[in-house]
Structure 1
Amino acid sequence: MDSLILFIIGILFHIALWTVLIGSSKPKDNLWFGVTWPKKALADEQLSRLQQEYRKSITMYSITAFVTLLPIFLLGGFFSLAFIYLLLWTVSLLYTSTSAFKRIHHRAILLKRNNKWFVGKSRTINIAGDIQRYTAMTPLSFYWFLIPAAMSILLIVLSLGNDNFLLRMTGVASLTMTGVVFAINRAFTDSRPRAYSLNPTANIAIHHAARRYWSILWLGMAIFEAANAFIAYYVLSQGNSTSPELWMGGVFVISLVPIMAIYYVHNLIRNLQYRYANTDGISYQADNDEHWRYGIHYYNKADSKVWTKKRIGTGYTVNMATAGGRMTFYGVPLLMLAILIPVTAMIVRADTSAPALAIDANGTVTIQDTSYPYTFQLDDVIEIHLEDKMPSGFKSDGIATSAYARGNFKLSELGKAKLYVFKKAPPFIVMKLDELHIVYNEEDPEATNQLYEELRERMRMTDSSTEID
């Protein structure tokens, strides 16, 4: 059920994105593919062919997006993994959604430049400084790989005193992966220059930038894998290794991060190729389209306004050349991360750590190992009984999936309540306090019955006047 809800959310997002993408394939006034055209150019057959190619691309993209959303059903046993997968899928979809448009935009710009279809006054764009800066780039030193190697060796040392084979292998696997990534990095660094451009000056600049970016990626990948090894070591050392589905799902989700990073760097280099490959490495002619990067992002130092009307879709976008525009553009994703990271951490904790109820010698009851801990006295319990049916209601501050419910709820029959329950594992212990009900059970029904009897017995011992049903 949880997977189905997340799947529906993904589909709705996909439909909204598809609407924007298909809308961007149509000319709007004198704008087409983020490029301004003179009226005579809009009827050119080459633009019509670009439109057909773009629509085919986004159709394939839409099919791919749908297919890659389906694995969310395989993670249904763990809501946290399904939730993280949906987040990564959404981010991937947002990031890759403009790829086809950027490719067609680039070809449209070349078509416009070759035919000199400039709108208004054209000007010379000097790129010699950019070319010089990219040409001076060098790959990261191989010595940086000592960092993930040292992390792996430290993990090997930590695991030496443990008899668990999997624990002892985490550091070895991490060190092996560091060696593999290092070898890949060497292969990319020592590779011959690719034919990014027919102009040798532009080609060598793009090649040097590519080597730099790839070296940063592979180092980051090695550090990322070493960090994952530490996480695996911690989880295994806590004894949470009994669920193969959790491990396989976690590996599957984490594997998406390197894939996304590789795609990002590939796209970064391709964007350099779009911008400089078809130039002489010194300058080129352009009109005001130059202020629109890929026809999407507005960058104009001469314009002090933060907001400007979009060329694609509806609404407004920011001027990335202004401080306010940059703060908005980068601040919104950071704000989203600040919200999503704690929420995701809470969901992961709820999925991997069940609540535990403990009673001390003084009759203090503590519910712990949850994001919603609570402590009360047995003397405060007015009534306690078992229910075979899960109470219905709404959460006010908590987390609820088809498998469990934790936190503060408003129940139809009981009113204000705190729930710590596995929904599909009745019975449920219901404890009535003065202005609150507490509903608790274990995942094992027999353990719930034993706990219930223990609570009843302790209540008899602490207060013989307590009413027990």
Structure 2
Amino acid sequence: MTVIIMTVIILFLTGMQAGTPYFVKRTVVFGVTIPEGHTEDSKLAQYKKYYMTGTLLTGLTSAITFIVLSLNDSTEATIVGSGLALQFFTLLISMILYVVFHTKTAKQKQDNEWGATLKQIRVVDLSSRSADEMLPTIYFTLPMTITIGLIIYTIINYEHLPHLIPTHWGPTGAPDAFSEKNPFTAVALLLILLVMQGMMSAINYFTKKSGIKLNATNKNKSKIQQLTFRKYTSWFLFLTTLLTTLLLAFFQLTIIHEEIGGTLLLITAPLGFLVISLVGAAIYAYKIGQGGARIQIDLEEQTPQGITDVDEDRYWKAGVFYVNKNDPSIFVEKRFGVGWTINLGNPIGYFILFGPIAVILAIAFFL
């Protein structure tokens, strides 16, 4: 089962990475702003194909290598270790390929002086904010309420807990690490979950406050795409939080009531979570795309001539890291990938993202 799970994850990562150039906006290629009229340049199309081919070959090679290694050494620790190593290797090669083609794309743009004669403008539509359908942050209190309720339930049933508290579960759903029972270890899993839920809630709140950037040459179309992207991104974040809550709540209940579920449910629960999460992410990326780029809008719109969007390449380091102290947005849309990234020029973003991670690591350290 572990071999299957690891293989699926490697192939999933490969597919998502390979398809990324086709999930993002046409006007952003490998993290570089490309003005309308040059987005279909043959060189850029060639770079995308080379990146996709290189990533696919790397991922397939990693998957085959992993299967061969697993057949030769079937110990659980070796399988998990080699699987994680090959996942990292696949991501590393895709990152190297990205940097190569980011550099080539930036040079192509500079050498051909794309956009040099166009007037750069920023489109602001105040009505967009009122039409935003991102979920209110109050929705994220539902998973948090479930967690707090389980903490109380665990305290009430403290005397019935086993002497050794599971602190980690393997790919098959069976616990493989334990700590001696005490008030802290009894609820540690739920404390980690509560911190994660708080982080997800904060991400939703601050992405909802982030700026809505419209395309200067396709204002109405990009408005619909942006609003749809924001709505479904918010729902995807909420459903991911809810699924994570249900999975970890199930594990907590198995600590209190060891007779719950049995071996079959312990296997199918995490496997079901994995399948739903991966399928959901794939559908989301393919159907929505970054910034709603893959949403087809049948809309006749007059395209203004001689203008282009404001070129913000100077704020994007390697097209991945956004650093802009003048932008009040804490989270901004990724340029390569689907979703959001933090504005490294705003210190609040560090606190929202890295603060919870530090707390989770601290909890794990004392287990």
Task: Give the TM-score normalised by structure 1.
Answer: 0.32
Task: Give the TM-score normalised by structure 2.
Answer: 0.40
Q: Which is strand-richer, 1 or 2?
A: 1
The structure, 1 or 2, with the larger RCO (C-alpha pairs under 8 Å, 6+ apart) is 2
